[in-house]
Amino acid sequence: MAKEEKIIETSKQVVQSYLLTTAGRDWGVYAEKFLLRLIEIAQCDIQGMDFRKGTDMKPHNPSLNYPLMTRNEVGDAIITIPIKSLLPDEGYTNYEYIREAIEQLQTKVLRWEETKTDKNGNIVYNAQGNPVRKWTSVQLVGKATGEDDESGYITVRIDTDIWKAMVDFTKGFRAFDLNIAMKLQSKYALRLYQLLSRQDHPLTYTIEDLKKQWGLEDKYPRPDDFIKRTIIPAKEELDAVSPYTFDYVPVKSNAPGKGKKPVTSIIFYPKHQLQFDNPRGLKGFDETQVIKEPIRRILREKYGFQWYELETTFDILYAAQRTMTGADAEHPELLTFIVELYRNAVKSNDKKKYLIGSLKKHLQEKYNYTIKSKKELAAEEKLRKMAENKAKKEAANEPKLLGDIFK
């Protein structure tokens, strides 16, 4: 139980670009954790924060000035971090694993895809009538140097495209607790934790997509083996230590024909385990930082929002920011909307409530975008349980092996 108590003792929220969350890669768990440290520094960079104050990466000697980030002449990021921040526990001295993880990153690539759009935001189709997919493949780490010592450091060169991807939230993002992520032992538990953390709705992924994300295209040809080797161990670890875990239902192919049909996709049902939540609240970077600073400033100074109120209303604010994009990346439509609305909001009994209600109405009427109510979420949960029970019944009716029948 001591391990569980250590995990929930503190909390540090990080926000990871959805591009990175779903990017294809087959890395070891130490390589994945190194990526998390880079994301932590990237968040400090976009917020203009001091790396020493904004990260948990403290040097062995307090007088040393790292973590540190500079840029070379072509814009690549040069990152120096204490090796201690990559070690799983105090007293861990097997530095060989850390060096191997860095060398692994030097030989493998990070790849992601996105749908191509024209200048007006319309999807581009090819001659066969399919959406054109843009793909990017980049080596994560260039030159690297380090020291095999608790007081040592590691310096790496990160491609400028990777650095941009770390702070590219235009395709969405995932928020999760960095300290919990750093404690996970399985790379599949880590990937699923990032994917499902703080999610309320079921997520469906084909096995083909999951294998592509995890770099397993040539492994586990049988879906049952894939689930046994990746999904089940990940769930067991998250069940034991994480505030966010999942239930899952395998979905079989609906292709016509007789005979046993293979599993082709998995429905994940996120579960929130309150017993592992941080009782002292969130610390460090909070997801509301994704909201543009001019908008946050008006919400705080004019409407009187406190930081925790911005977090509790984050879903509607982020939906508005993504939907009301206006003509450029600075979201003038949303900014104009909340400024002009203030004149009427001050006449109401509750400025904050008036703003949120007006935003919901505006999104529904102009963009047909609806924020789901608790009643709707409860209905979805009911459907989830029905689907889960149906899947269990179907599994129970599957023909058994002769050995099982005569037990």
Low-confidence winner among 51-55, 118-122, 245-249, 338-342 (lowest mean pLDDT): 51-55
CB atoms within 10 A of CB 96: 9
User: From CA 379, how far away is CA 388, in angstroms rounded?
Assistant: 14
Burial (CB count <10 Å: 0-12, 13-18, 19+), residue 231: buried
Burial (CB count <10 Å: 0-12, 13-18, 19+), residue 318: middle
- pLDDT attached to residue 402: 38
- Please report how the helices 314-323 and 332-345 are oriented relative to each other, as an axis angle in degrees rounded to 10: 130
User: From CA 311, how far away is CA 248, in angstroms rounded?
Assistant: 28
In contact, 368 and 361? CB cutoff 8 Å: no
Query: pLDDT confidence of 317, banded at 50, 70, 90?
Result: confident
- Neighbouring C-alpha atoms within 13 Å toward the C-beta of 44: 20
Structure tokens at 29: 């768990």
The predicted model gives 182-200 an average pLDDT of 88
In contact, 174 and 1? CB cutoff 8 Å: no
User: What length does the chain have?
Assistant: 407
Residue 301 or 93, more confident: 301
In contact, 269 and 384? CB cutoff 8 Å: yes
User: How confident is the model over 38-92, as pLDDT tens digits?
Assistant: 888 877 776 666 666 656 665 545 555 556 778 888 888 888 888 777 766 555 6
- pLDDT attached to residue 141: 84
User: How confident is the model over 145-189, as pLDDT tens digits?
Assistant: 887 776 678 888 888 887 877 777 666 667 778 878 888 888 999
Query: pLDDT confidence of 405, banded at 50, 70, 90?
Result: very low
* Percentage of the chain modeled with pLDDT above 70: 72
81: left (phi over 0), alpha (psi -120 to 50) or beta: beta
User: From CA 318, how far away is CA 15, in angstroms rounded?
Assistant: 13
The predicted model gives 237-262 an average pLDDT of 86
What is residue 227's DSSP assignment? Answer: I
Q: Given a cut of 90, is residue 264 above it in pLDDT?
A: yes
pTM: 0.57
Residue 349 or 147, more confident: 349
Residue 95 or 266, more confident: 266
Query: pLDDT confidence of 220, banded at 50, 70, 90?
Result: very high
As a whole number, the mean pLDDT across the chain is: 76
- pLDDT attached to residue 41: 81
Q: What angle do CA 205, 381, 22 make, to 5 degrees?
A: 25
Strand-pair partners of 247 = 269
The predicted model gives 380-389 an average pLDDT of 72
The predicted model gives 383-397 an average pLDDT of 71
Query: pLDDT confidence of 22, banded at 50, 70, 90?
Result: confident
Closest CA to 196 of 133, 166, 158, 238: 238
Residue 400 or 165, more confident: 165
- pLDDT attached to residue 77: 85
In contact, 107 and 66? CB cutoff 8 Å: no
Low-confidence winner among 17-26, 282-291, 362-371 (lowest mean pLDDT): 282-291
